[in-house]
Structure 1
Amino acid sequence: MKIKTYIPLILLALTSSLGFAQQTPASAQKEAMTITGATAHIGDGTVMENTTLVFENGKITALGGPDTPTKGTVINAEGKHIYPGFITPCSSLGLVEVDAVRASDDQDELGDMIPHVRSLIAYNAESKVIESMRPNGVLLGQISPKGGRISGTSSVVQFDAWNWEDAAVKTDDGIHLNWPSTFRRGRWWEGEARGLQPNKDYTKDVGEIEVFVQNSAAYNKGTTNEKNPVFDAMKGVFSGSQRMFVYANGEKEMIDAVTNLKNWGIKNVVIVGGYNALKITDFLKAQNVPILVNLPHDLPSLDDDDYDLPYKLPKLLTDAGLLVGIQNIDAANFQARNLPFYAGQVAGQGLDKEKALALISSNTAKILGIDDQYGTLAIGKSATLFISEGDALDMRTNKLSHAFIDGRMLSLETHQTELWKRYMGKYNGK
């Protein structure tokens, strides 16, 4: 009996200790700041040498050459580089602490069609994983639900906050839909052959989505005193204020998803994944559909694919004229910190370095609908940016000296840097 009593207490203590970060969120900007002498990577393809950048009250107020008047505290960044804060989309950061502890996993709720489930209110702003993003320049993210057919509603947050209310940058920005696949793996336990085979239920699965979407549309067009939170949560995708993020990789799946959803009255569709999007670029351009491709550090899905297809896919889609961003839904949460190096990998495949930067800054901001304030360095926009000693897309030179979110100077210390210093001192004999 004593053992049974103590085990829950031990688990509670473990999850509590893992649920709190080391750093206190920065206070609001109190005085003007000026950064001088740096090379500014604007995020839209533009590069400015020997830049002077001024920000106050959380907004950029001046951006120009060395003759630009300075104001307030001056940071000499000669020989360094300024970048807009990087953005990781379709992430479950802050929703999972310990995979093996169900109580700390809020990314997948019960139910199949649950657009009313808001991932934002489960977001743990004090997660230790969150603080480990900042030293690589990843300062914002779209926190997205997983599982089911319609997983729920995502929100965009910044990575230095006391709680989810403080973190929110754009609440309920989109709904996430897992489109059915035309192929599935055989259910050997039911006597089916192993390996991929046609999904006989594909038409039925699509039909279930159609019924749900059309019922939602009818509810939102009608007038009733009875509140239906499930159908009501779909209102934004019909009005265009929210985006429908559709997870699909096959040609037929993407064509069916875009065509059907738009016919059903959903205005803004974003493809997430898009492994075979290169084969239907004309269709996607005509439909004005952007793509959040999977991370390029991956293997090809099919035996007859080019061995380096995942590495070069973002470049090929960009060259085809699509609006492209990078996400890492299939990777562990902590790998979101490698976002700048994914973009660097694409630059290594021949994409212009500044266009590669846009994959994780301005392009992603446009896709998420936050480009009025984030994603580029511009007068009037949020001072969410960082200073790197070298090229931020290269893991050898991505070394941040300063980082700011809405003008607030962040601590770049994390539990990992503290452990590094501790054990470097030990093994150096200090």
Structure 2
Amino acid sequence: MELRTIREADLAGKKVVMRVDFNVPMKEGKVQDDTRIKAALESINYILAQKPRYLVLMSHLGDPKKDFKKAQEKAEKEGKSLDQETFFAAKNRMKNVAEYLANLIGKPVAFSAQTTGTQAQAVCDSAPESGIIMLENTRFDSRETSKEASEREAMAKELASLGEVYVNDAFGTAHRAHASTETLAHFLPAYAGFLMEKEVAYLDPIVSNPQKPMVAIVGGAKVSSKIAVLESLLKNAHTLIIGGGMAFTFLKAQGHTVGKSLVEDDFIDTAKSLLAKAKEMNVQILLPVDHLASAEFADVEPTYVDAIDLPENLMGLDAGKKSVELYAKALENAKTVVWNGPLGVFEFKHFEFGTHEIAKVVASLKAKGGITVVGGGDSVAAVNKFGLAEKMSHVSTGGGASLEYLEGKALPGIVALKK
């Protein structure tokens, strides 16, 4: 898929409005992980090098209304009170992110406490040549996510009035048809940033025409959230490794005993259907053949189960040594590997073995000429935890977006940038 990119745009002297994905974890007003901010720096620096009139950055940061409601309910249960503005300042206001970005790039970043309107316009007008402006969290404006096209259009027009060129580098929100991610592209000349371009360049071939053999690793808790991606990957994969909690639904579908492990009984038939479809398509499916287990969901010393079947009193929380060896063998000659979802509860020290060992195997393939793509929040967190992210060909910044792309869906934010 070819996108219009900022290389093709005339940015000199222009007012540039850019959607970024700075939806980063916050604690007490401090950025906890700047991966997404750093991912946008290549595009930001390129645009500034073209000497624009100014560069306006906009992003969402959580969902203020939903975040506060959830926190308020928790506080009430604990008999505490919660001040809304104090909560927003610590978790949802972009001012802290603007200050973090300024320190990161060594340039001032002006902040507008409004996303649109007179204040936003005034901050832009007073910006120095090639200055940077950060707008307030787009989701403080209910029109951003409105189901009414007319409301999204009204907000998009107000955002468009701040610029002459629109750049979208927020792959993580590309699956949402929001005012700042898709609608705005209809009111200004629209281009993809380098991060958006890179995400599409790595993910598109996996869906359309990957280098083969391709091995897909799909993990995580539930089959229900991965059905579409499993079906899509069957079209091109040579081998499909299924791990994590979702593996137990497949094992039960095969007639194995799974003890206290997580199982989605409503999806047993779906698992049977996927297994049958894989057989028809000559795709090898690998499931755990041994387990690291526990009687409770806790970071405790594991019980090793040297069998596919689990006793009634145990739940499988990680892949065992024989499973890892089986998976590693399947990955040996892979030309393309796509990984979405961990193979166990890697957040627990006692149950990180399977995910860590396979992460090391996948990381070794890039040096052999293989293409390795990691997507999905948990698997990205895992390779970051193990210090292996830089050894992958590409680590996607979009959790839901990368999952939907792998499902073969057309993402609104990307469609709006196609040539």
Higher relative contact order (CA closer than 8 Å, sequence separation 6+)? 1
After TM superposition, the score normalised by the length of structure 1 is 0.27
After TM superposition, the score normalised by the length of structure 2 is 0.27
Point out the structure with the larger strand share. 1
Point out the structure with the larger helix share. 2
